[in-house]
C-alpha cells in the first residue's frame, strides 16, 4: 500500500493515447490517480496491477533490487486476492494433492504437513499433458459429429427427393384410373404420405440442430483450452482446467440413424381396400428394386449399428459410443447380465435386422476374428464353435492368411484377398447374405442363398 501511495504522488509525465485507457473488461492500473490506464502485469507479492508506464519507470520490478527479485509478475488479473492464503496471508504457490487445494508455504509445514505437496508450477506441468489429450479428444469428437452431420443432411435430401416423392407419384398413376367416388380417399392417402415425410424430416432437422449445437460447444471448449495452454498464470490454469475438461453432452456417442427409406405400409393398407382392378394395376406398376452394384448404391442401405455392452465379454473394451470394440488385457467393469458372453471374446449388436441392411466398413484388425450373422438370442453364453457348426449362423473368419466362410459345419475357403474393411449385405426379401471386401470398390467374398426368419443380429468375435 505504501508503494502504491508513493507512486501515485509522482503522477504521469505525459497523457497517453486514448486506447491505453482501461475500459469495461480491462484490468485498471492500481497506481494511476486520475483516469486509469490498462494494466499489463500484476505482481503476486505486491498484489498490485501496473500499467506499462508505472511498471517500467516507477517500480523496481525490472531492476536488480534484492527485495524484488522474488516478486512474481503475471498477466494482469482482477483476481489477485484469490491467490493469497486466507489463513497466513501468503501467496498460494503450492498445491496439496492429498486435499486437492492450493496452499502457501506456511500451510506446507502446518496443517498440510506430511501431505503430498508440490509447487503449483510442477502440478501445472503434469496437468499440461492432460490438456493436450483433452484437446485431441475434442477435435476427434468434432470430426465425428461433422461426418454424422453430413450423413444426416444426405438422409434429409434422400427423404425429400426420393422416398416420399416417389410414393406420391406412383400412387397418382393408380388413383387417376379410379372413378370420381374415391377422390376423397386419395386425398387422405397423400396427406398420410406427407405427414410421414414431414415427421421424418422434422426429426432429422432436430438431430441436425443438436449436432450443430454440440459442435459449437466443442469448438468453444477447444478454443478456451488453446487459450489456457498459453497462460503463464499457474493458478488460473489449474482452476480453469477442471471445469473446461468436463465434456459437454455425453462421451458415449448416441446411435444416429435417419430412416432414408420411409415405410408406406399404411398407404398400402389403404389402397388394399379398393377394387380388385385397382389392386392389379398397383401390383403391375410396382417394380422390384434391383440389387445394388456400386459402392454408392450400397451406401443407401448402410446402417450405423451399436454394440450391446450387456453382451460384451469382460476382456472386450467398447468405445466411440459403443461402435468400436477392441481387445483389452484388463478386465472391464461390466455388471453381471444374463446375456453376457462368458466363454469367448464376443459382443452382439444392439439392433436387430428385420429388413435390407448393410454393415459397411467394419474394420477387421485382428487374427482369427469373426463377423457373424446369427439369429438373435442364440449362443449368448459365448460358445465360439457354435457359429461354425450351427445352421442358424453365417460366419466369416478373417486372418492374416485369408478368409474362410463357415455354416452348418461346412468350411469354404475364399481365394479373393480380404481387406481390413469388411461389408456385410443382408437382403431379407431375396434371402441372401453377402460378404464384401471394402476399399474404394466393393469386392464380393462370399454369398449365401437361404430363407431368413427375423430378427437377425450381428456378432463380432475376437
On average, the pLDDT of the chain sits at 75
Question: How far is it, in rounded angstroms, from Cα 429 to Cα 458?
Answer: 18
Is 291-461 in CATH node 3.10.129.10? no
Contact yes or no for 312/318 (Cβ under 8 A): yes
**pLDDT of 382 above 70:** no
Q: What is the pLDDT of residue 269?
A: 61
Mean pLDDT calculated for residue range 80-102? 84
317-349 confidence digits (pLDDT tens): 998 888 888 888 888 888 888 888 887 788 888
Residue 233 predicted with pLDDT over 70: yes
* Three cell numbers, residue 36: 486509469
Given this model, what pLDDT does residue 366 score?
45
Greater confidence (250 vs 404) lies with: 404
Q: Is the pLDDT of residue 54 over 70?
A: yes
pLDDT in tens, 102-133: 988 899 988 898 899 998 888 888 888 888 88
Work out the pLDDT band at 419, boundaries 50, 70, 90: low
pLDDT at 361 over 60: no
* Residue pLDDT, tens place only, 174-195: 666 666 666 666 677 777 778 8
Q: What is the pLDDT of residue 24?
A: 82
Per-residue pLDDT band for 139 (boundaries 50, 70, 90) equals: very high
Asked if 388 contacts 374 with a C-beta cutoff of 8 angstroms, the reply is: no
Supply the Cα-derived Rg of the chain in whole angstroms: 34
Segment 15-25 shows an average pLDDT of: 69
Terminal C-alpha separation, the chain: 70
365 has pLDDT over 50: no
Of the candidate ranges 4-18, 217-231, 407-421, the one whose mean pLDDT is the lowest: 4-18
Which of these ranges, 148-162, 169-183, 275-289, 444-458, has the smallest mean pLDDT? Answer: 275-289
The pLDDT of residue 89 is above 60: yes
Residue 69 has pLDDT above 70, yes or no: no
What count of Cα atoms within 13 Å lies in the side-chain half-sphere of residue 250?
A: 9
Contacts of 9 (CB under 8 A, 6+ apart): none
Could you tell me the pTM of the whole model? 0.38
> What are the residue boundaries of the structural domains of the chain, listed by start?
123-245, 291-461
Amino acid at each position: 500500500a505504501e508503494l502504491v501511495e508513493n507512486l501515485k504522488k509522482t503522477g504521469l509525465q505525459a497523457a497517453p493515447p486514448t486506447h491505453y485507457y482501461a475500459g469495461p473488461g480491462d484490468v485498471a492500473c492500481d497506481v494511476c490517480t486520475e483516469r486509469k490506464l490498462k494494466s499489463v502485469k500484476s505482481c503476486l507479492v505486491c498484489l498490485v496491477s501496473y500499467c506499462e508506464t508505472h511498471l517500467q519507470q516507477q517500480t523496481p520490478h525490472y531492476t536488480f533490487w534484492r527485495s524484488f527479485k522474488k516478486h512474481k509478475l503475471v498477466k494482469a488479473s482482477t483476481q489477485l486476492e484469490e491467490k493469497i492464503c486466507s489463513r497466513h496471508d501468503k501467496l498460494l504457490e503450492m498445491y496439496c494433492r492429498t486435499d486437492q487445494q492450493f496452499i502457501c508455504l506456511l500451510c506446507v509445514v502446518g496443517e498440510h504437513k506430511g501431505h503430498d505437496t508440490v509447487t503449483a508450477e510442477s502440478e501445472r506441468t503434469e496437468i499440461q499433458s492432460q490438456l493436450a489429450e483433452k484437446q485431441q479428444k475434442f477435435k476427434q469428437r468434432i470430426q465425428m459429429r461433422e461426418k454424422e452431420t453430413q450423413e444426416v443432411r444426405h438422409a434429409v435430401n434422400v427423404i425429400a427427393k426420393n422416398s416420399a416423392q416417389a410414393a406420391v407419384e406412383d400412387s397418382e398413376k393408380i388413383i387417376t384410373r379410379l372413378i370420381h367416388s374415391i377422390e376423397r380417399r386419395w386425398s387422405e392417402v397423400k396427406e398420410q404420405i406427407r405427414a410421414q415425410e414431414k415427421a421424418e424430416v422434422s426429426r432429422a432437422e432436430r438431430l441436425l440442430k443438436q449436432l450443430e449445437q454440440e459442435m459449437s460447444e466443442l469448438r468453444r471448449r477447444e478454443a478456451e483450452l488453446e487459450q489456457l495452454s498459453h497462460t503463464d498464470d499457474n493458478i488460473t490454469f489449474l482452476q480453469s482446467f477442471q471445469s473446461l475438461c468436463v465434456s459437454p453432452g455425453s462421451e458415449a456417442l448416441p446411435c444416429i440413424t435417419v430412416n432414408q427409406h420411409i415405410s408406406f405400409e399404411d398407404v398400402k393398407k389403404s389402397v388394399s381396400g379398393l377394387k380388385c382392378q385397382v389392386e392389379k394395376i398397383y401390383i403391375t406398376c410396382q417394380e422390384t428394386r434391383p440389387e445394388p452394384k456400386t459402392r454408392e448404391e450400397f451406401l443407401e442401405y448402410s446402417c450405423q449399428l451399436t454394440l450391446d455392452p450387456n453382451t460384451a465379454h469382460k476382456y472386450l473394451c467398447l468405445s466411440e459410443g459403443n461402435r468400436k470394440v477392441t481387445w483389452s488385457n484388463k478386465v472391464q467393469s461390466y455388471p453381471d447380465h444374463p446375456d453376457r458372453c462368458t466363454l469367448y471374446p464376443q459382443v452382439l449388436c444392439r439392433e436387430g435386422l428385420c429388413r435390407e441392411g448393410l454393415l459397411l466398413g467394419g474394420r477387421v484388425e485382428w487374427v482369427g476374428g469373426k463377423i457373424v450373422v446369427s439369429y438373435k438370442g442364440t449362443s449368448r453364453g459365448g460358445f465360439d464353435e457354435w457359429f461354425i457348426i450351427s445352421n442358424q449362423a453365417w460366419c466369416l473368419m478373417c486372418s492374416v492368411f485369408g478368409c474362410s466362410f463357415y455354416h452348418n459345419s461346412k468350411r469354404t475357403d475364399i481365394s479373393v484377398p480380404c481387406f481390413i474393411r469388411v461389408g456385410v449385405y443382408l437382403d431379407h426379401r431375396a434371402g441372401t447374405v453377402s460378404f464384401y471386401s471394402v476399399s474404394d470398390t466393393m469386392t464380393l467374398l462370399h454369398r449365401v442363398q437361404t430363407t431368413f426368419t427375423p430378427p437377425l443380429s450381428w456378432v463380432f468375435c475376437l
